Amino acid sequence: MYWRAYALAQAGRAAQSQELVKRLRSEHPNSRWIAEAERLQRRPAAAAATGGESDQDRLETLLGQPADKSLPQLAQLLRDAKTPQAKRRVLFVLSQIDDPRAMAQIAAAAEGGDPALSAQAVHLLGVSGAETLLRQIYSKTGDAKLKQRALQALGVAGATDALADAARNSSDTQLRHGAVQGLGVSGGVDALTQIAAGDADLSTRREAIKALGVAGGQKQLLELYPKLSAVPELRAEALSALRVAGGDQGLLTLYKNAKTPEEKQALLRTLKGTEN
């Protein structure tokens, strides 16, 4: 709502912009954007009175400028920003610029020493689909937390190949799990099925089965279930994942085809849980 109000103000439609600011204040009284919206309303009068612009005004102005002009100024604003909130604003504006140089600046912030700023920068790279930069961050950094953030962002970016590679080849259990969870977010059902049915360690296979539920892999879970008869723990996980994936009909089919009373009981418990 704030950015819509901003766009209206930039288009010279001040009355509509102010009406949207009023709605923002009324409908979202605790929003962190209210102060920005009120500043937006005051900007014309303040600029006329002082003859200058605040950093926020400069930032908003840069949104509509060509990258060659805006990027050096945004880099300077990022260096000069005194508060985390101000830095986050600059990163957000950089993420809206379709230029590799803007993404490179965000990547530099991701690898900086500020954990909160790094977390936002990595997330923005994921939303922007900057897979190459995220892979570079993951491979270069020795910070386990930053590696995990990069894996999460790769999931948001839909980078299934990179995540599958990390899930199969990382020597760190937590990173393998993070990569598998990223595959669940990205919908990498083929890679998850291979990991779940493969020779990975038990905990990684279990995470892959959980992630198949998140990814909506009903068909893959139903095909996998009978292959897990020798590992009851994973078979039970597959039933739970089917619940997450919404596979009620599949569970009913498994119940009808169950071979032992114990299996029928397990499936019945799962079905009752689905109904609840």
Spatial separation of the C-alpha atoms in residues 36 and 40, rounded to whole Å: 6
What CA–CA distance (Å, rounded) separates 88 from 83?
9
pLDDT tens digits, one per residue of 95-146: 988 899 999 999 999 998 788 899 999 999 999 999 999 999 999 999 999 9
- Give buried/exposed letters for 63-90 (b at 16+ CB in 10 A, else e): beeebeebbeebbebbeebeeeebbbbb
pTM, full prediction: 0.72
Q: What is the pLDDT of residues 197-251, one digit of tens each?
A: 998 999 999 999 999 999 989 899 989 988 888 898 998 898 889 888 876 777 7
Which two structure tokens, joined as six digits, stand for 27? 């409908």
Question: What is the distance between the alpha carbons of residues 5 and 16, in angstroms, rounded to a whole number?
Answer: 8
Strands (E) across 96-253 are located at none
Place of tokens 């200058």: 52
**How many Å apart are CA 246 and CA 101, to the nearest integer?**
43
